[in-house]
Structures are given as C-alpha cells and as structure tokens.
Amino acid sequence: MNSRQMQYVVMLSEMRNFSQVADRLGISQPALSKQISSLEKELGVRLFNRDTTPLSLTPAGSCYVETAKEMLYREEQLLREMERFRSGEAGCLDIGVSPFRSQHLLPDIIKKMKKRYPGITIRLHEPPSDQIRKETAEGKYDFAIVNLPVDEAVLDVIPVEKERLVLAVPNGMLDKLSEVPKGEMPQVDLNACAELPFVAAKQTQEMRQYFDKLFAAAGIHPTVTVEVTGLTSAWAMVQAGIGAALLPLRFVDGENKQDGVRLFAIKSDLSTRQPVIITRRGQALTEYAQYAIELLTERG
C-alpha cells in the first residue's frame, strides 16, 4: 500500500466512476482498475461495490477512505514542514479568499510577497465562504481569510482589521429618507431607510446574512427589489439608481467612483464584521505563508 494508491481510492470514492478518475489522472482505466484490485488483494477486503451505479464504497472502503485522507494530509504536512527549511525560492502558496478580498485586500500583500519570494506561485481560491471554511479545515489551503464565526475546535484563528459596512444610496432616492444627515460620512438610523428599495445578495450568501441581521435588529422588513451574486453587481445596481445596498466601505471607498451615490454610516453595533485568518489547527506553515500572515496582520 502506498500514497498513490490511497490517492486513487480517495478520488474514486468522490467521483464514483473509474473512467472519469482515469481521465483525471491521465492513465488508462485498466491501469487504474489493476491498482485498485491489487490494493484490495493486499488488504484482503473489497473497498468498492462495483455492482452499483454509480460505484459505492463498502463499509471497509468507507473506513479506508477516512483514514487515507488523514494519512495523505499528514504526508502533505510533513512535506510542508520540510519546506520551511528551504529559502522560499520555489513553492506554492494557496489562499482561500472571497473575490472582494482578492481585489481589495491582497494585491498589495502579493506585491510584497513576490518581491521577497519571486519564485513562488500564489494561487487564490474563491469558492463560497462556507466551502472555504470546510476546505481550510481539511488542509487544502495554506490559510484562508473569512469572517467570524468559525469552528475554533478545528481551526486556528488570527483576527485582522475589522471591516465597516455602509449603506450606499442613489442620490435620486435621498428624498425617501425621513432625514438626510449632513456631513462627509453621515450616520443614518435604519428606521429612516424603511421605505427604500434594496439590492441585496442572494439568500445563500454571507453578505445577505449580515443584511438580514441588521434589519431584523432594527425591526424592519426591507423591500429587496433585486438579488445579486457579487458586490460588483450590487454596486452597479446602486449606480444605476435601482436601489440602495449594504456594502463594505473598503469596496466603495477609493477606486470605485461614487458619482450619483451617497454613503451612510449605519447606527448599529452590527455594522462591522470581523475578518480572520484561519488555518487547520496545528498545521505547519511555510516561511512565505508566515510572511503573508504577518503582512495581513500589520494592516490592523
């Protein structure tokens, strides 16, 4: 039994199809079948039930896959630990992060990283936040950046600079506010915004959870006129005068032109969120991953 065979079994347990796994691995299906059959013969048990469609694991196979995943993870961590002794002239840094933070938080960090470690490849992974948390706990990233809460039983957590959420309101809708405060960044009570139409993230997204929590705390049932997937789409809708939106200040401040839009600070303790750097608990970090984390924490 070797790590290559373990990887084959794990992939087959996930894809449930010999042909697809063989294509992914770049080997022939008979060669893959031979590897699995050889392993089953060595172990003296059947790992897969080949009579079902799709392929299914036997009870022994389920036990094997669970342990194999942990062994493969430990092997990867051993390699990472050895990599810490290298100069950082080569290697990969995998970061789980939202598209928003890829655009507004990481460019300066990556520029500094490449100056110190010009030979490394930095790979940004941008799945949904819940998937980032899950895959970080599985050790698939060097580290990730998400918002609290996280499962600290399986993740190590390092706080970074808090993010402020603001209300972006098209100028044409300001007359719908019961009062329009004065000032460069005036504060507004959400009760004054009850009549506004809103652009909001879809129900499955994290930003929608903040949106719903804010308005629920204020006892308001907002009218969501458009649901979108990304912050860029929400901002475009606000600029088009379709509705107001809850957005991170870092997103709308600076390079995003605010013509035709007014920003409001929100009178609520819930108008900030706490981003954190997370790693799998006890995970070994490369020298350049540690440097990236140092740069991110310095921002606070």
Tokens of residue 192, six digits: 């004054």
pLDDT band at 83 (very low <50, low <70, confident <90, very high): low
pLDDT of 78 over the 90 cut: no
pLDDT on residue 179: 64
Report pLDDT for 257: 62
79 confidence band (pLDDT: 50, 70, 90): confident
Asked if pLDDT for residue 202 goes beyond 70, the answer is yes
Q: Considering the entire predicted model, what is its pTM?
A: 0.67
Give me 164's structure tokens: 């402020």
Q: What is the 3-state secondary structure (H, E, C) of the chain?
A: CCHHHHHHHHHHHHHCCHHHHHHHHCCCHHHHHHHHHHHHHHHCCCCEECCCCCCEECHHHHHHHHHHHHHHHHHHHHHHHHHCCCCCCCEEEEEECCHHHHHHCHHHHHHHHHHHCCCEEEEEECCCHHHHHHHHHCCCCCEEEEECCCCCCCEEEEECCCEEEEEEEEHHHHHHCCCCCCCCCCEECHHHHCCCEEEEECCCCHHHHHHHHHHHHCCCCCEEEEEECCHHHHHHHHHCCCCEEEEEHHHHCCCCCCCCEEEEEECCCCCEECEEEEEECCCCCCHHHHHHHHHHHHCC
Q: Which has the minimum average pLDDT: 166-175, 176-185, 203-212? A: 176-185
Residue of 277 and 90 predicted with greater confidence: 277
Confidence of residue 84 (pLDDT cuts 50, 70, 90): low
Return the percentage of the chain with pLDDT > 70, whole number. Answer: 92
Query: For the segment 15-72, what is each residue's pLDDT rounded down to a tens digit?
Result: 999 999 999 899 999 999 999 999 999 999 999 998 888 899 999 999 999 999 999 9
